[in-house]
């Protein structure tokens, strides 16, 4: 792999300026495998590749540049592109904040779609009527007709907006339930909304809920048990935590990046 490509990826992914020493530590094995004999030669090769990379981005054909900031290196938009980037940032939708009950419900719908509210309630163990309303308002889910059983409950599925928010090509790219549980545990801790708001969201049923409750089917499949296991660890927190669904890396790396 090209040394310049490695350095470019590191700088791009870094949230804060990354130092030359840090980059050397990350790529030294790769550089050594290409014939570098000691630490001095490795450092020299990395420095040269970094200088070449900076020169490449200096070209007017690039809208971003690599700058030395606070003892490290980071990517930022070039001053002449700030107006168009600012206009782009203003055109973007704000991040969506969702409570853990909403995230759990969204996960059930994503993995079981199309699915009815009674089926969701059976998996989560709590009423999800109010949460369904929130997800519909956010356009993360939509209706998919009615299930042909007594009462004909409404079926729900995820939308194109859901795929766009999570950066997915289609639902086949969804992570496993274990990965989703880990994502919730690691990424969504500490993001809180008032407990009253979460409680209201989770307890306010939509008008369809009453019609659907009488048609709850028995559901003992292994797939549903897997989903129930994945969300059960968070059910006790259903009235408090919330999470912000991140925008795409484009926003993080171009619009939300710092201006010089």
Do both 145 and 52 map to the same domain? no
Same domain for 64 and 102, yes or no, is no
The pair of structure tokens assigned to 7 is 């350095």
Contact 19, 42 (CB under 8 A): no
Residue 82 belongs to some domain of the structure: no
Whether residue 223 lies inside any domain: the answer is: yes
**63: which 2 tokens?**
């809208």
Question: CA 150 from chain center: how many Å?
Answer: 38
Is 90 contained in some domain?
Answer: no
**Closest Cα partner for 110 from 43, 46, 53, 161?**
161
Quick one: pLDDT at residue 115? 93
Is the same domain home to 121 and 218? yes
Asked if residue 175 and residue 73 are part of one domain, the reply reads no
Helices (H), the chain: 3-13, 20-33, 39-58, 82-91, 100-112, 117-124, 129-137, 160-166, 177-187, 195-203, 207-213, 222-232, 249-250
Sequence-distant (≥ 6) Cβ neighbours of residue 25 within 8 angstroms: none
Q: Are 36 and 110 members of one domain?
A: no
Burial of 87 (0-12, 13-18, 19+ CB in 10 A): exposed
Q: Is residue 91 part of a domain?
A: no
Supply the pLDDT for residue 109: 92
Distance CA 138, CA 16 (A): 32
pLDDT for position 120: 92
Low-confidence ranges of the chain (pLDDT < 70): 1, 95-96, 180-260
Question: Both ends of the chain: CA-CA distance in Å?
Answer: 31
Asked if 103 and 192 sit in the same domain, the reply is: yes
- Among the listed residues 97, 137, 111, 136, the one whose alpha carbon sits nearest the alpha carbon of residue 231: 111
Residues whose CB is less than 8 angstroms from the CB of residue 119 and which lie 6 or more positions away in sequence, other chains included:
112, 216, 217, 219, 224
Find out whether 131 and 102 touch, Cβ atoms under 8 Å.
yes
> Which among 77, 105, 130 is the end of a domain?
77
pTM higher than 0.75 for the full model? no
Number of domains in the chain: 2
pLDDT tens digits, residue range 32-65? Answer: 787 777 878 888 888 888 999 999 999 888 999 9
In angstroms, rounded to a whole number, what is the distance separating the alpha carbons of residues 13 and 175? Answer: 21
Angle at which helix 100-112 crosses helix 117-124, to 10 degrees, equals 120
pLDDT score for 225: 53
> CA–CA separation, 104 vs 125, rounded Å?
11
Neighbours of 39 (CB within 10 A): 11
Tokens 């409950």, located at residue: 153
The verdict on 191 and 239 lying in the same domain is yes
Q: Give the whole-angstrom CA distance, residue 230 versus residue 233.
A: 7
DSSP type of residue 249? H
Q: Does residue 69 share a domain with residue 120? A: no
> What domain range includes position 42?
3-77
| Res 163: pLDDT | 84
137 plus 180 within the same structural domain: yes
At 236 the pLDDT is 43
121 and 45 together in one domain: no
Q: Are 113 and 198 in the same domain?
A: yes
What confidence score (pLDDT) does residue 202 get?
Answer: 53
**61 with 130, same domain?**
no
Residues in the chain: 260
């Amino acid at each position: 792999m090209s040394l310049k490509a490695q350095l470019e990826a590191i700088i791009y992914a870094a949230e804060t300026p990354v130092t030359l020493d840090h980059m050397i530590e990350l790529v030294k094995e790769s550089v050594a495998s290409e014939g570098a004999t000691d630490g001095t030669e490795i450092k020299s090769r990395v420095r040269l590749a970094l200088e070449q990379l900076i020169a490449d981005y200096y070209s007017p054909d690039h809208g971003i540049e690599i700058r030395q900031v606070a003892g490290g290196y980071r990517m930022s938009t070039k001053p002449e592109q700030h107006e168009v980037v600012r206009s782009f940032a203003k055109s973007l939708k704000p991040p969506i904040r969702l409570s853990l009950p909403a995230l759990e419900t969204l996960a059930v719908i994503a993995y079981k779609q199309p699915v009815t509210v009674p089926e969701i309630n059976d998996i989560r163990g709590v009423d999800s009527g109010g949460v369904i309303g929130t997800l519909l308002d956010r356009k993360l889910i939509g209706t998919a007709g009615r299930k042909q059983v007594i009462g004909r409950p409404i079926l729900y599925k995820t939308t194109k907006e859901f795929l766009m928010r999570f950066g997915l090509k289609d639902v086949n790219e969804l992570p496993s339930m274990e990965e989703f549980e880990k994502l919730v545990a690691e990424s969504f801790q500490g993001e809180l909304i008032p407990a009253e708001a979460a409680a209201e969201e989770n307890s306010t049923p939509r008008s369809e809920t009453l019609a659907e409750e009488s048609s709850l089917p028995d559901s003992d499949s292994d797939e549903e048990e897997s989903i129930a296991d994945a969300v059960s660890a968070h059910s006790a927190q259903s009235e408090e935590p919330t999470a912000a669904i991140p925008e795409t890396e484009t926003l993080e790396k171009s619009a939300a990046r710092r201006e010089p």
